[in-house]
Amino acid sequence: MNPALLILGAKLRMAWHEIASVRKQSKLKVAVITVFAGGIWLAAYGCFHEGFEWLIRFGGEAQSDPLKVGYIIMARMLAVLGLAVFFMLVFSNVLVAFSTLYRSREVPFLLQAPISFRAFFIARFWECVGFSSWALAYLGSPLILAYGRSSGASPVFYIAAVAFFLPFIIVPACVGCMITMILARAFPQQRVRVMIGLGVVAVGLLFLYIRDVLDATRLSQDVALAAVMDATSRTQTPFLPSYWATRGILAAAERNFRECAFQFLLLLSNALMCVWLTAEMAQRIFYRGFSFLAGQDRTRFKRLDQGVLGRADSLLCWLPNPARALVVKDIKLFWRDPTQWSQFVIFFGILAVYVANLHGVGNSRYTSDMWRSWIACLNIGSCTLVLATLTSRFVFPLVSLEGRRFWILGLAPFTFRRLVWQKFWLSVCTTSLFTVGLAALSGRMLHIPALHFWLSIYSVVVANFGLAGLAVGLGTLYPNFQEDNPARIVSGMGGTLNFLLSVGYVVLIVGAQTVILQWHVLERFTTPQAFWRTLGIAVLSITLVSLVTSLLPLYLGLRNLSDMEF
């Protein structure tokens, strides 16, 4: 039997065992995750559908207009999205390929087997494709469905969307794997500083490009449509797979089957060519890169009391032990793990784009109270969602990351209560630093009214406690001690549940104040006293909800940890 198929068969059996193990999981957990995942899918569909409908209305008499302005914008936005997704998939595959091809524990076992590097690569490649692309299938499907429904596409459109999906995700996966193999081959010979410098330049250029496109597409300008079309035209090129995919799918929507078939075959042939090319590259350079990485001098000295990390213990001398020991350990492990800090840096790069874009919104002509109130509420939503992302990605895995080292903590003379509270306070202190700062900065840049400003600060402060308690509590309730990769811990059932509940909590607390503030602007309250009374009740309710969101998961998590065996 083909060795690649044999390995893939074993992987599929493992995946099946994993799925079958859901039966042994808590029924409540499975039900909550299913309901929330379905809810998010439906909500995404609703948002996309409403957005597309709005664009059609924005275009005027769409059905009778031969130019169909709304449709043109919709198609162009889909194309821009396809391009963005393509580059995101390339980036995601670079990261996934490194851990799958070089760092996974299975790699030495597979490499000592009598199989070619080509077969090894093909087997591992499909794992990269699956890991990097499942989220696209989940969030892309409501978008495609909404587009099809809004544009009245033919049934062939949906079949085409499914058919185009696989070759579309294969191409960036191949490109990502190629980049990883080249980097692994070249990296050990390059100085780390040179590589970091190149990375910073690449991210900087991308940042400038995104900002340029965002500036050009700002709809508050007089020539909005022309600006949008001009800016987005820069993202269109017939040499990119995203172009072939979107052109093909859109052709199917317009019943232009000849164009659709041409674009599909073009994409498919390129995808197959890419797989062949990457497999040949793997046959030739993978092993050299692998042995370079495995054989390099890995002696790294980190002297105590040198550098900021080395002095962390002295800097935090005001904290009593064992809390200080745990905090210092968590900080050091975080900053010495490239998979952690690199995602942290990317996250803040995206935030920088957001903040840079606020400047234009704040200075624009949104003078009506209603719009200013909307912008302020959306900003609170953004800040708290940023916080939810931070806690879901970086705080939830904290307890799981103790992993197979839990015997060290289990043997130490302190109760798990102290451990859980240490994680909670570490989260509150670090995330508050960023998110309260972001709320204040964005509030100032948007020139939002004082009431909205202080309400946003209050909301973010309270949410820091609520979301930290939720993430630490659920991280303790559903830990994964077998996994050392935080990204995989987060993508598990517990991590998904935490993210969904975090989003639910944000929607609840932001939604409550948004409704009250909008009613106030629309003068629905009969007296100012009625407004202040309602707002006071809302603030109190938000505090109570946050307390419950924080303390209940912490209590349940702690109880679970105390009952746990290692």
Partner 1 sequence: MIETERLTKKFGDNLAVDSLSLKVAEGEFFCFLGPNGAGKTTTIKMLTGLLHPTAGRAILGGYDIQKDPVAAKRIVGYIPDAPFLYEKLTGREFMRFVAGLYQLSGDGVVERTETLLDLFGIDDVGDQLIEDYSHGMRQKLSFAACFLHDPRIVIVDEPWVGLDPKNIRFVKDFLRARTREGLTVFMSTHTLSIAEEVADQIGIIHNGRLLHVGTVPEIRAMAKSPGTLEDVFLEMTKEEGE
Lookup result for tokens 């996994």:
483
Query: Is residue 105 involved in binding partner 1 (CB under 8 A)?
Result: no
Please say which residue, 254 or 337, places its beta carbon nearer to partner 1. Answer: 337
- Which tokens hold the place of 514? 């948004």
318 binds partner 1 (CB under 8 A): no
Nearer to partner 1, 414 or 532 (CB): 414
Region of 92-100, 248-256, 379-387, 412-420 interacting with partner 1 (CB under 8 A): 412-420
Under rule CB under 8 A, residue 341 binds partner 1: no
Tokens 């924080």, located at residue: 550
Site string for partner 1, 354-393 (x = CB under 8 A): ----------------------------------------
Closest CA to 167 of 297, 274, 282, 26: 274
Residue from 462, 497, 500, 503 nearest 477 by CA = 497
Buried b (16+ CB within 10 A) or exposed e, 117-146: bbbbbbbbbbbbbbbbbeebeeebbbbbbb
- Count CA atoms within 13 Å of residue 345 on its CB side: 14
Closest distance of CB 481 from partner 1, Å: 10
Minimum gap (Å) between residue 543 Cβ and partner 1: 34
Cα angle, residue 552 at apex, residues 547 and 554 outer, rounded to 5°? 100
Closest CA to 122 of 17, 277, 288: 277
Asked if 470 interacts with partner 1 (CB under 8 A), we say no
- CB 410, CB 566: distance < 8 Å: yes
| CB nearer partner 1, residue 53 or residue 313 | 313
Give the range of 3-11, 157-165, 227-235, 323-331 binding partner 1 by CB under 8 A.
323-331
Q: Of 74-82, 226-234, 329-337, 370-378, which segment contacts partner 1 by CB under 8 A?
A: 329-337
**DSSP secondary structure code for residue 320 in this structure:** P
- Say which DSSP state 194 is in: H
Cβ pair 558, 416 in contact under 8 A: yes
Say whether residue 298 binds partner 1 (CB under 8 A). yes
Give dist(CA 74, CA 54) in Å, integer.
10
Choose the binding region for partner 1 from 146-154, 163-171, 325-333, 379-387 (rule: CB under 8 A).
Answer: 325-333
Nearer to partner 1, 216 or 409 (CB): 409
Examine residue 109 and tell whether it contacts partner 1 (CB under 8 A).
no
Q: Is 405 in the site for partner 1 (CB under 8 A)?
A: yes
Q: What is the spatial distance between Cα 346 and Cα 339, in angstroms, rounded to a whole number?
A: 11
Q: Does 234 bind partner 1 (CB under 8 A)?
A: no
Instruction: Select 372 or 418, whichever has its Cβ closest to partner 1.
Output: 418
Between 326 and 468, name the residue whose CB sits nearer to partner 1.
Answer: 326
Q: Is residue 54 part of the contact set for partner 1 (CB under 8 A)?
A: no
Tell the smallest beta-carbon distance from residue 566 to partner 1 (Å).
4
> 503 vs 392, 393, 399, 486, 500, CA distance in Å?
10, 13, 21, 20, 5
> Using the rule CB under 8 A, which residue among 300, 450, 527, 528 binds partner 1?
300
Question: Which of 209, 566 has the CB closer to partner 1?
Answer: 566
Q: State the minimum distance, in angstroms, from the CB of residue 297 to partner 1.
A: 10
Q: Which of 113, 105, 100, 114 lies closest to 286, judged by CA?
A: 100
- The CB density around residue 223, as the number of other CB atoms within 10 Å, is 9
209 to 93, 202, 212, 232, 519: CA distances (angstroms): 22, 11, 5, 12, 39
Compare residues 322 and 449 and give the one whose CB is closer to partner 1. Answer: 322
Q: Which of 21, 64, 299, 526 binds partner 1 (CB under 8 A)?
A: 299
Side-chain-facing half-sphere of 446: CA atoms under 13 Å: 28
The C-alpha atoms of residue 137 and residue 86 are separated, in whole angstroms, by 13
User: Is-contact 229 217, C-beta < 8 A?
Assistant: no
Q: Which is nearer to partner 1, 254 or 483 (CB)?
A: 483
Shortest distance in whole angstroms from residue 392 CB to partner 1: 22
Of the candidates 291, 342, 415, 482, which one interacts with partner 1 according to CB under 8 A?
415
| 483 counts as binding partner 1 under rule CB under 8 A | no
294 binds partner 1 (CB under 8 A): no
Question: Nearest-CA neighbor of 407 among 233, 564, 204?
Answer: 564
Specify the residue, 341 or 454, whose C-beta has the smaller distance to partner 1.
341
Work out how close the CB of 200 gets to partner 1 at its nearest, in angstroms, rounded to a whole number: 23
The first and second tokens of residue 244, run together, are 């072939």
Residues 6+ apart with CB under 8 A from 145: 45, 48, 158
How far lies 29's CA from each of 33, 174, 251, 471, in Å?
6, 36, 42, 15
Which residues in the 118-147 window bind partner 1 by CB under 8 A? none
Which of residues 23 and 303 has its CB atom nearest to partner 1 in the complex? 303
Q: Which of left, alpha, beta for 60 (phi over 0: left; psi -120 to 50: alpha)?
A: left
Nearest CB to partner 1, comparing residues 104 and 221: 104
Q: Write down the least CB distance from residue 301 to partner 1, Å.
A: 5
Q: Which stretch binds partner 1 (CB under 8 A): 29-37, 255-263, 302-310, 458-466?
A: 302-310
Q: Give me the residues that bind partner 1 (CB under 8 A), please.
A: 298-304, 313, 321-322, 324-326, 328-329, 332-333, 336-337, 403-405, 407-415, 563, 565-566
